[in-house]
Amino acid sequence: MGDFLGDIYKWYNIYKRELPWRKTTNPYFIWLSEIILQQTRVTQGSKYFLNFKSQFPTVNRLALATEDEVLKLWQGLGYYSRARNLHSTAKIIVNDFNGQFPADYKQLLKLKGVGNYTAAAIASIAFNLPHPAVDGNIYRVLARYFGIKTPIDTNSGKKEFYKIANDLISHKNPGMHNQALMEFGALQCVPKSPNCKLCPVAQTCIANKNNVVNALPVKSKKAKQRKRYFYFYYIENGNYLFLEKRTGKDIWQNLYQFPLIETKKELSDVEILKNGFTKISDLKGNIKSISAKRKHILTHQIIYAHVIHIEIKNKDFKSDEFIRVNKKDIHKFAVPRLVEQFFKDLGIE
């Protein structure tokens, strides 16, 4: 084990990426980076981290922001519950902890949106506390090196991997330790076809010796994806269009979108023209076009979406159902990536 960790640390010191959150131990910035990097690639997350750091340089400033401001800055990252939790937690830190992050693992776990991994990352990197941060990269490194076939998505698997990670954790520099293992998984021990010939621990890696590298780690469950059919209505009224805010416990909560009809099955163009518009309202307008189908894949669902472009000539038209927005102000509204893509297709930017 000593050689294993020593070799990983040497590798890390040579090959680690220069990332903006690695230049600080400020718990606010560590927390911010970890929330952004959940379900997000580092290259994409770095831009968002720098934007958040610039617009909200302190947790107090983030707590004072409106939810719309936070969601707008988050736009394009997906998993928007992360942004809402980020905002809620900032308020809790300011109101309940006097603006100071708790330097305690168990207290960190009580924060909204902070699980075992994120609490351990903050505790180890910001406060030098010996808690193992076990993310997907570390699961993969440990599964391969120690030849563990227990599925990582089971309670027994999580306990087994946590025990190994906890036994390995450095008490001298736990932050560097966690980051070294994560970086090793991200760059060297990658999910598919890693270059084991260049791996510094290949000689003692059980998966490499038994030629089962691509079979580990093991997962017992495969996420099921349900299909959804979205029909957005771009209701154009001169320089104005109409949006609605998504409410309720569903994807994209509190984001804005074109007025939407969701159906249980895919509609033909004839069915869209016959049934769809009357469900939106009793407006009278000209249907200018129906977009091509766009496929949008989320973790547990696949969305098939169209936009129906309707032009209304009545300049005095108002709606109690929807929000009337000048096209030049559309950039002020936080929208899902799918809707943003339709904006670009329609020349609304």
Q: Nearest-5° angle of CA 103, CA 131, CA 10?
A: 115
Q: Whose CA is closest to 78, among 330, 232, 292, 253?
A: 253
SS (H, E, C) 273-299: HHHHHHHHCCCCCEEEEECCCEEEECC
Within 8 A by CB and 6+ apart from 344, the residues are none
Strands 286-290 and 301-311, bridge-based pairing: antiparallel
Q: Nearest-5° angle of CA 67, CA 255, CA 46?
A: 70
The alpha carbon dihedral of 118, 121, 124, 126 has a sign of negative
User: What's the one-letter identity of residue 272?
Assistant: I
Q: Please state at what angle helix 27-37 crosses helix 116-127, rounded to 10 degrees.
A: 150
237 with 310: CB under 8 angstroms?
no
Whole-angstrom Cα distance, residue 101 to residue 25?
A: 12
In 191-268, at which residue ranges do the beta strands (DSSP E only) sit? 226-237, 240-245, 256-257, 260-263
- Residue 114, classed as helix, strand or coil, is coil
- Residue 308, classed as helix, strand or coil, is strand
Q: Considering the candidates 18, 34, 183, 311, report the single residue annotated as catalytic.
A: 34
User: What's the one-letter identity of residue 68?
Assistant: D
Whole-angstrom Cα distance, residue 116 to residue 124?
A: 12
For residue 34, indicate whether it is catalytic. yes
Q: Which residues pair with 236 in a beta bridge?
A: 241, 311
Token pair listed for 6:
């020593």
Measure CA 203 to chain center.
36
User: Would you please indicate which residues are annotated as catalytic (active-site) residues?
Assistant: 34
